[in-house]
Amino acid sequence: MQRIIEEALMVAKKFGVSYADVRVIDRTEEEISTKNGSVDGIKSSSSKGFGIRVIADGAWGFSSSFVLTDEEISRVAEEAVDIAKASAKTKIEDVTLSKIEIYQDRVEEQVKIDPFSVPITKKISILLDADKLMNLQGIILRRGGMYFSKEWKTFASSEGAYLELERVISNAGISAIATDGKDVQTRSYPSSFGGDYQRKGFEFIEEVKLLENAWRIANEAIQLLSAKPCPSGKMDIILESSQLALQIHESCGHPTELDRVLGEEASFAGTSFLTPDKLGKFKYGSDIVNIVADATAPFAIGGFAYDDEGIKAKKIYLVKNGEFVGYLNSRETSKKLRLEPMGAMRAESWNRAPIIRMTSINLEPGDKAFEELVSGIDNGVLMATNKSWSIDQKRLNFQFGTEIGWEIRNGKLQDMVKNPTYSGITYEFWRNCDGIGNKDYYHIWGLPNCGKGEPMQVMQVSHGASYGRFRNVQVGVLR
Ligand SMILES: [Zn+2]
């Protein structure tokens, strides 16, 4: 590693760069899926390569390769410089970076059981056991999956940073689809679209408790077929934490990305309603809404020890006591707005340049027991587990659907309802948040597939949430 890095930085400096950094990544992945009682797929892969990012003539250049020979390292470093110099011809202004503290460090993940030391047969048998428990009359599709990854990343910069960072991810999830010939209903566990992800070893698989929940979700999918439709109209809602996690992702995580705000993602990912004139002056939510970007959150897949610019993981407020107070930024964008760089630059792999990404964007827990939240509602719905989402380019108008809901009448949970949906405008919705569950219900959900950038980069982010109660929300179809 050291040889590759020294060579790359030396070549870059020789060609007159004002800044250079190198990332070398060695990653191993394993994916297992089961379907209706048998193994559906097993995928093992590994990837190793390096990427060089430079500033020359006041512009960025990036290049990468998986060939780790001296000649290729010099060629790639030179190519990154050439790209920077070519880009410089069309620059509007010079790239300048915020000053940061420089670290040399080595950080290992706190893993109890290396997931790659566990035989694949054991992983398959857990999934097939869960599958069996979901095999009820009326269930037509049963799925299960696990994913594991392990990587070592070395980051070094021309400013003297040298970081060796380990990252281990484990994932598991199951789902059941029921039909009665007229309707189709899905239930997933522990959350939809593949389940939950954490920066842990195989011990996470036991914590997820697939077997303890498999029968329940299959049974719920069947019950949903004959459940009544979710009511429509303005009413109060409670969101369960995995749905609230996605609400945070779409309506707070994305609009606080400073590259979006500055228009750099306008052609693909979109822009943001949280423009710089609103920073510190805009009521984003009610006084109890506190949303942090916390890369230090333990085991969260949005977390890390250092970001891809070598900034040590930080926790900052995006929304404090309801006020919009912070952005996710980079050294370059923080400098433009004279903000503290907070460490949110992340690249999907060695072959991509880092861009501003969410870290762990968490809604801090409140003080309410679940029963208190329910008892404060005369007419409303509890909604759980995301099914669909849609939000506009500025992140203002949204609509979400969940797998399951329960009516709330006179302070009590009532019948199960199918196809719950709700819609709103981001700041009106968060301003109507009047109750947040306490830390007993708080969980940080791993979301492995946030897409952004051109070329597209898929990023692992996470969101901590408890229950949230929102007043006067449009539920169901607008009439
Ligand atoms: Zn996203």
Nearest to 156 by CA among 347, 314, 345, 309: 309
Indicate the residue among 172, 197, 226 that finishes a domain: 226
Indicate the residue among 226, 257, 276 that finishes a domain: 226
- Quote the pLDDT of residue 478: 59
Q: Are 54 and 191 found together in one domain? A: yes
Residue 450 Cα to ligand 1 middle (Å): 4
Residue 422 is classified by DSSP as E
Q: Are 300 and 221 found together in one domain? A: no
12: phi then psi, degrees, rounded to nearest 5: -60, -45
CB 27 within 8 A of CB 47: yes
Question: Using CA atoms, how far apart are residues 381 and 192, in angstroms rounded to an integer?
Answer: 19
Residue 24 Cα to ligand 1 middle (Å): 25
What are the C-alpha distances in Å from 445 to residues 29, 305, 403, 439? 20, 19, 17, 14
Mention every residue, 6+ apart, whose C-beta is less than 8 A from residue 351.
49, 51, 64, 66
Residue 134 Cα to ligand 1 middle (Å): 31
Residue 3 Cα to ligand 1 middle (Å): 36
Q: Is the dihedral of CA 462, 219, 474, 437 positive or negative?
A: negative
What are the C-alpha distances in Å from 170 to residues 68, 114, 199? 29, 10, 6
Residue 249 Cα to ligand 1 middle (Å): 6
Q: Are 236 and 110 found together in one domain? A: no
- Quote the pLDDT of residue 479: 53
Residue 362 Cα to ligand 1 middle (Å): 14
Question: Using CA atoms, how far apart are residues 120 and 189, in angstroms rounded to an integer?
Answer: 21
Residue 382 Cα to ligand 1 middle (Å): 24
Indicate the residue among 172, 196, 226 that finishes a domain: 226
Residue 250 Cα to ligand 1 middle (Å): 6
Residue 247 Cα to ligand 1 middle (Å): 11
Residue 284 Cα to ligand 1 middle (Å): 19
Q: Are 48 and 169 found together in one domain? A: yes
Residue 268 Cα to ligand 1 middle (Å): 12
Over its length of 479 residues, how does the chain's per-residue pLDDT go in tens digits? 788 898 889 988 899 899 999 999 999 999 999 999 999 999 999 999 999 999 999 999 999 999 999 999 999 999 999 999 999 999 999 999 999 999 999 999 999 999 999 999 999 999 999 999 999 999 999 999 999 999 999 999 999 999 999 999 999 999 999 999 999 999 999 999 999 999 999 999 999 999 999 999 999 999 999 999 999 999 999 999 999 999 999 999 999 999 999 999 888 889 999 999 999 999 999 999 999 999 999 999 999 999 999 999 999 999 999 999 999 999 999 999 999 999 999 999 999 999 999 999 999 999 999 999 999 999 999 999 999 999 999 999 999 999 999 999 999 999 999 999 999 999 999 999 999 999 999 999 999 999 999 999 999 999 999 999 999 999 997 55
Residue 254 Cα to ligand 1 middle (Å): 6
Taking the whole predicted model, whether its pTM rises above 0.85 is answered as yes
Average pLDDT, the chain: 97
Question: Using CA atoms, how far apart are residues 75 and 191, in angstroms rounded to an integer?
Answer: 45
Residue 15 Cα to ligand 1 middle (Å): 37
- Quote the pLDDT of residue 4: 83
Q: Are 237 and 183 found together in one domain? A: no
The CATH code of the domain that includes 8 is 3.30.2290.10
Residue 444 Cα to ligand 1 middle (Å): 16
Residue 452 Cα to ligand 1 middle (Å): 7
Residue 458 Cα to ligand 1 middle (Å): 9
Residue 461 Cα to ligand 1 middle (Å): 8
Q: What angle do CA 266, 269, 273 make, to 5 degrees?
A: 65
Q: Are 77 and 205 found together in one domain? A: yes
Residue 365 is classified by DSSP as P
And the tokens for 199?
A: 């920066």
Q: Are 188 and 266 found together in one domain? A: no
Long-range contacts of 343-347 (CB under 8 A, 24+ apart): 343/295, 343/306, 343/307, 343/309, 343/311, 343/312, 343/313, 343/314, 344/257, 344/293, 344/295, 344/307, 345/307, 345/308, 345/309, 345/311, 346/304, 346/307, 346/308, 346/459, 347/23, 347/51, 347/308, 347/457
Residue 357 Cα to ligand 1 middle (Å): 9
Write the DSSP assignment of 281-349 as a string of letters. T-B-S-TT--EEEETTSTT-TT--SB-TT-PBP-EEEEEETTEE---B--HHHHHHTT------EE-SS
167: phi then psi, degrees, rounded to nearest 5: -145, 125
Q: Are 168 and 206 found together in one domain? A: yes
- Quote the pLDDT of residue 420: 97
- Quote the pLDDT of residue 31: 98
- Quote the pLDDT of residue 88: 97
Question: Using CA atoms, how far apart are residues 286 and 309, in angstroms rounded to an integer?
Answer: 34
Residue 451 Cα to ligand 1 middle (Å): 6
- Quote the pLDDT of residue 56: 97
Q: Are 215 and 347 found together in one domain? A: no
CB 27 within 8 A of CB 64: no
Its domain, for residue 274, covers: 229-475
Residue 389 Cα to ligand 1 middle (Å): 11
Residue 244 Cα to ligand 1 middle (Å): 14
Q: Are 44 and 106 found together in one domain? A: yes
Direct distance between the N- and C-terminal alpha carbons of the chain, in angstroms, rounded to an integer: 62
**What's the number of domains the chain is made of?**
2
Q: Are 118 and 200 found together in one domain? A: yes
Q: Are 217 and 245 found together in one domain? A: no
Element (H, E) at 241: helix 241-248
Residue 333 Cα to ligand 1 middle (Å): 20
Residue 332 Cα to ligand 1 middle (Å): 22
- Quote the pLDDT of residue 179: 98
Write the DSSP assignment of 378-402 as a string of letters. SEEEEEEEEEEEEE-TTS-EEEEEE
